[in-house]
Amino acid sequence: MRIRYKKWARPELEASEFYEDNPEDWKGKWKKHFKNQNNPLHLELGCGKGQFISNLAVKNKNINYLAIDLVDAMLGLAKRNIESVYSENSEEIDNVLITRFDIERINLILNKLDEVERIYINFCNPWPKGKHRKKRLTHSKQLEKYKEFLKPESKIYFKTDDDDLFNSSLNYFEESEFEIIEKTYDLHKDTIFKENIETEHEKMFSEEGIKIKALIAKLK
């Protein structure tokens, strides 16, 4: 998603206690960055405006969340959304961090010591052109990188509106030795998630009559 430059985003992020500007410094020790270091660590790749992560994290204070995006403007909006949702629920922001980084180079900021137990990938860029497909966040090339920091039997939750991306991703997961334990071509009719938090894109596509595809893959 393209978004206009927001001059307030960078100053607000730098002043935020739950934004990390130097993620490479925390490789292998992300759990120490949270108030409760014993919580499991879950990851959202491409958090966008933060609607998903804010609502997920505030409902699961027993889990620590790290949300990553590459655009300051997006992260600035995510910061504000997290603050708003936590304030509405009278909760302290102590189990979610946001950071700016290129997901294609994610192994520079995470490793096995971080023991990530779950990844969420929601409505990522489908990169439809053949020469760009390796940029897909579910491509085998990326999945192999995730395996470097995921715990055994960890899960990836994936949602998309794009048929080709979804069908290709089924093959990517199989190639990378992930087991598809749940899948659906119509998430809102055949819910496979115990708790589905609707994203901004999800709501928009659903209103247009586009069915949401989803899967849960487990690392073997």
For the chain, list the domains and their CATH numbers.
9-219 (3.40.50.150)
**CA-wise closest residue to 123 among 157, 161, 156:** 161
Three-state secondary-structure class, residue 187: coil
Question: What residues are paired with 157 via a beta bridge?
Answer: 120, 216
| pLDDT per position as a tens digit, 70-122 | 999 999 999 999 999 999 999 999 999 999 999 999 999 999 999 999 999 99
Please state, in angstroms and rounded to a whole number, the distance separating the CA atoms of residues 19 and 6: 17
pLDDT in tens, 184-205: 999 999 878 888 999 888 999 9
Neighbours of 53 (CB within 10 A): 30
